[in-house]
């Protein structure tokens, strides 16, 4: 303990508690997902070495890309003690509107993409307003709004599949840079990089941590909690729209019923990565690891010819195991790392 008293003020020799964390404890939150990735890799090395072929690894990245974009914003929402269950419907609604504008109204691709982002933004702000002004709890508000947005998408698309879009939309969604690296994964990683900056270097991220970590302290500081929460959901809406655009490009088609289950998958990836489910700490790097882990598991199960329901069971077990692991670390008090690292 290296407290030096330069004035006869506060000091504490009462509590000889070691405060400098050993280096590995700073990263302990990542140990869980990394251990799972290693375990999975060992299993696959034995069971199906083709898992490690470059082509398959790129498929994993391709699958993960959309969830990187969603996971970035969800990390901030959850850090601020929120949750958004409506993102699948927002992605579908934005994409359907973009597709209709292109197909039925002859709008240019870029204008239609901008419109999709605007739709996502409006959906996100609406979520934020319902939560902060009508005081509906985040979980219920976004669950209900999920139905609303899905319903609007269904009305607009009227059961049709809208397909075949001009470049560069398919290139964005399923193209490969130099014929190898998925374009969408580049978009996803840029999104996570921006998320890292938001979380660590902006008021938005700092106040999200404060609101999630100690709401009363945030109020005492004069942080306008409602306004910050609306920002979080607006960012989430914009990212959901981007995910909708990437999805449309990937399938080169869209219908109102796509992107179901996106919310749970994204929340799972974020929490598996070490962001606290009940707010106060988030990590973009952890979200990247969580997204990759879930994509690897899905891919491995497909390769091993497990049926779809096994994938559901596996992701459920991973989520419960991770949350249990982090709860254990919380009690232990050793799981503290920087808000992000």
Partner 1 sequence: MDESKQPVLQMTGISKSFGGLRALIDVSMDLFPNEILAIAGENGAGKSTLIKVLTGIYRADKGEIRVHGKKLNISTRRDSINAGIAAVYQNLGLVDTLTAPANVFLGLEPVKRILGIPFIDNSTMRSRAVAVLRDRVGIELPDIDAPTRNFSGGQRQAVAIARAVIGADLKVLVMDEPLAALGPEETRNTFNLIRAVRQRGTAIILISHNLDHVFQLADRVLVMRGGKHAGVAEVARSSKRDVLGMIVGSDVDVDAMA
Residues of this chain that interact with partner 1 (CB under 8 A) are 1-15, 17, 19-21, 197, 200-203, 206, 209-210, 212-214, 216-223, 276, 280-281, 333, 336-339
- CB 66, min distance to partner 1, A: 27
Long-range contacts, stretch 41-47, CB < 8 angstroms, 24+ apart: 43/300, 44/300, 44/303, 47/304
Instruction: State how beta strands 253-254 and 181-182 pair.
Output: unpaired
Based on CB atoms, which residue is closest to partner 1, 21 or 122? 21
The tokens for 114 are 């901008």
Terminal alpha carbon distance of the chain: 25
| Nearest approach, Cβ of residue 285 and partner 1 (Å) | 16
Helix, strand, coil percentages for the chain (3-state, nearest 5): 70, 0, 25
Q: How far is the CB of 81 from partner 1 (least distance, A)?
A: 12
Residue 48: CB minimum distance to partner 1, A: 40
The residues facing 182 across adjacent strands are: 176
Tokens of 97: 């509107």
Closest approach of Cβ 197 to partner 1, in Å? 8
| Cβ nearer to partner 1, comparing 25 with 174 | 25
**CA gap 203, 89 in Å, rounded:** 29
Cβ closer to partner 1: 248 or 339? 339
Map 25-79 to HEC letters: HHCHHHHHHHHHHHHHHHHHHHHCHHHHCHHHHHHHHHHHHHHHHHHHHHHHHHH
Tokens 């929120």, located at residue: 82
Please tell me whether residue 13 adopts helix, strand or coil conformation: coil
Could you give the 3-state DSSP secondary structure of residue 181? strand
CB of 234 to partner 1, least distance (A): 17
Task: Please state at what angle helix 28-47 crosses helix 284-303, rounded to 10 degrees.
Answer: 20
Among 213, 191, 243, 234, which Cα is nearest to 338's?
213
Of 209 and 318, which CB lies nearer to partner 1 in the complex structure? 209
Q: Is 166 exposed, middle or buried (0-12, 13-18, 19+ CB in 10 A)?
A: exposed
Q: For 166, phi and psi rounded to 5 degrees?
A: -70, 155
């Amino acid at each position: 303990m290296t407290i030096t008293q330069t004035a006869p003020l506060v000091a504490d020799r009462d509590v000889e508690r070691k405060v400098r964390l050993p280096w590995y404890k700073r990263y302990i939150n990542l140990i869980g997902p990394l251990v799972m990735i290693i375990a999975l890799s060992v299993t696959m090395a034995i069971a199906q070495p083709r898992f490690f072929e470059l082509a398959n690894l790129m498929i994993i990245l391709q699958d993960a890309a959309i969830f990187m974009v969603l996971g970035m914003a969800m990390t901030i929402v959850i850090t601020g003690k929120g949750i958004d269950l409506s993102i699948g419907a927002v992605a579908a609604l934005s994409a359907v509107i973009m597709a209709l504008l292109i197909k039925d109204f002859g709008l240019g691709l870029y204008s239609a993409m901008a419109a999709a982002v605007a739709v996502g933004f409006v959906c996100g702000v609406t979520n934020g307003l319902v939560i902060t002004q009508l005081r509906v709890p985040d979980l219920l508000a976004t669950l209900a709004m999920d139905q609303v947005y899905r319903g609007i998408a269904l009305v607009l698309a009227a059961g049709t599949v809208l397909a075949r879009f001009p470049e560069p939309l398919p290139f964005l969604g399923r193209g490969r840079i130099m014929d190898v690296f998925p374009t969408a994964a580049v978009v996803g990683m840029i999104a996570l990089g921006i998320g890292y900056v938001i979380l660590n270097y902006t008021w938005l991220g700092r106040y999200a941590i404060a609101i999630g970590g100690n709401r009363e302290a945030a109020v005492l500081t004069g942080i306008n909690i409602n306004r910050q929460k609306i920002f979080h959901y607006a960012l989430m809406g914009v990212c959901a729209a981007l995910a909708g655009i990437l999805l449309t490009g990937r399938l080169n088609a869209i219908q109102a019923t796509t992107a179901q289950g996106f919310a749970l998958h994204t929340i799972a990836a974020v929490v598996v990565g070490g962001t606290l489910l009940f707010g106060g700490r988030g990590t973009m790097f952890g979200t990247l690891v969580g997204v990759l882990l879930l994509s690897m598991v899905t891919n491995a199960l497909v390769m091993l010819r497990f049926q779809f329901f096994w994938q559901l069971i596996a992701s459920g077990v991973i989520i419960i195991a991770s949350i249990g692991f982090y709860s254990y670390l919380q009690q232990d008090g050793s799981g503290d790392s920087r808000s992000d690292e």
